[in-house]
A and B are shown apart, each in its own frame.
Chain A
Amino acid sequence: MLDVYLQTLLSGLAVGGVYALIALGFSITFTTTKTLNFAQGEFISFGAFIGVTMLLLLSGLASTTTAVPSEAASAWRYPAAVIGAGAVAGFMGILIFLLAVKPFAGKGGMNWVMSTLGFGVMLQSLGLAIWGPAPVMVPSPLGDNVLRIAGAGVRPQELLVLACAILIMVALDLVMRRSRIGKAMMAVAHSPQTASLMGINVNLVMIGAFALSSGLAGVAGVLIAPIASASLFMGMGFALKAFSGAIIGGLNNPRGCIYGGFILGVLESGIGLWQAQWREIVVFGLIILVLAFRPAGLFGQAAVDKV
């Protein structure tokens, strides 16, 4: 029985790692610009398909198919696809900031909600025109042979996802806390006006925040594709869960969002073990419960009005 729990925990952590990456992305734009990219789900799907396209092109295959052959993901091609998808999604993040967020940010009102949602719908239609509606099976670069860890069966991709997610988040955490650019980002997060008095180009930091946040979504898409298979409709569900994770953890606390993502992944997987059909009901019920008692999230700081 213990092996089943371990298996559930590991796959929960793997999916949770993906939620955490995306949740961190939400937190990055929220803290620096007080806005969220509601097209994040489409960035995940787009990332997955850019990854698929790169895998196929790099191995000299046709650019559309319903299943990527496993040799196409081998060796250096998968890491290249992850980085490529992150870069393309990051670039699209700059576009969405300049076109759909900047004109409305900091002016009050919720126009950016509609404009980022709309950007997402446009992206999805564009994706359907390029890749079509059919999901694409994506092989794991580590193969599909189930590994046995203390009796628990684990797919190698799950371990890869978990390792990549942790690596990326630890690296980002170090950059945010130790480097000058990280401290400048923290300054912008606290007060864009005061940050500009330090000679910080606030606009550039905000562009960087959107690029980083969207890049994380793109990377998450390629990481999860071998587990969930790539589909232009996959992103929405992941983005919603990741957003819930961010809310549970506290949107204004990047570390809290990471914890929130992991908590949600493990919870979901644990409840799925018990009653799969109750999974969503219990998960979102818990989110509402958490918010009722801790409106700023488990790890968030309640906003204190300054005198």
Chain B
Amino acid sequence: MLTLKDVHLAYGPIAAVRSASIDVKAGEVVAIVGGNGAGKSTLLKGIAGLMPVGSGQIVFEGEDISRLAPHKRVARGIALSPEGRQVFPDQSVYDNLTLGAYFRKLPNDALDAEVEEQFKLFPRLRERRDQLAVTLSGGEQQMLAIARALMGKPRLLLLDEPSLGLAPKIIQEIFDIIVSLRRSGITILLVEQMANMALAIADRAYVLETGSVTLSGTGQQLLHDPKVRAAYLGVSHSAA
């Protein structure tokens, strides 16, 4: 479904991702794990079109989208729930959700029906429907960011650090939702610092180190890889 061939991404003269080749097949949950500054978020930005691709190719459903503007990639079926959530603070939960479907130009009743679908998945957002997004808790904002991305009816959902800054209980809730999304048939590319949780639900995973892919395999393989365990999981999590 999505293939990255030797993709380079750079902030001016500073390379953030070097020669990354990644494959995501339809229906999979693929995780990208790695430390701070490894280039994980940059990679997702490159796929979403927020970063220009220096060299290499991004192919989505057989078409090269490397030079496509971000709003056109959304229309092709790629949605990003960005790092740090980036909800629109001065707009209501309902308006944030409808913005996620902006490009689909739905009539009002169809739009309401889809907002209702998201409320079924994220019941907490229903209670906050008319509140400004800025008043939500971190966990609720994360749910809103994911729901907003889903409003675009993506075939590929990019999730950037959905656990960032959240309490363990909320993180579990978010991961449960990711698992249920996979069951509904959405392909997911997940970037996470919480490597143990990401690997546990991923079909396949890549390890990114200083901008390069250094390891890849199934989620279970990487979860039990001694190098990964030492670098990203810590001893206390190794019991998993």
Contacts and interface: CB of A to CB of B under 8 A. Distances in A.
A180 B108 CA distance: 11
Interface of B: 48-50, 69-71, 74-75, 79-80, 82, 84, 86, 88-91, 95, 98-100, 102-104, 148-149, 152
A197 B75 contact: no
B229 to A, nearest CB: 31
Contacts of B48: 197
A198 B89 contact: no
A179 to B, nearest CB: 11
A197 B103 CA distance: 10
B91 A183 contact: yes
Given A197-B48, A198-B74, 5 more contacts: A183-B91, A184-B99, A193-B82, A193-B86, A199-B104
Given A183-B95, A197-B82, A190 B90 contact: yes
B50 A199 contact: no
Is chain A's binding surface mostly helix, strand, loop or mixed? helix
A63 interface: no
Contacts of B89: 190
A193 B44 CA distance: 13
Interface residues of A, number: 19
A197 B90 contact: no
A201 interface: yes
A183 B111 CA distance: 15
Contact of B152 (A184, A190, A199, A201): A199
Nearest to B92: A183
Listed from nearest, the 4 A-B pairs whose CB atoms lie closest are A199-B103, A199-B74, A196-B70, A194-B86
Interface string A183-219: 1101100110111111111110000000000000000
Contacts of A196: 49-50, 69-71, 74
Contacts of A197: 48, 50, 70, 74, 79-80, 82, 86, 149
A187 B50 contact: no
A187 B89 CA distance: 9
A306 B141 CA distance: 15
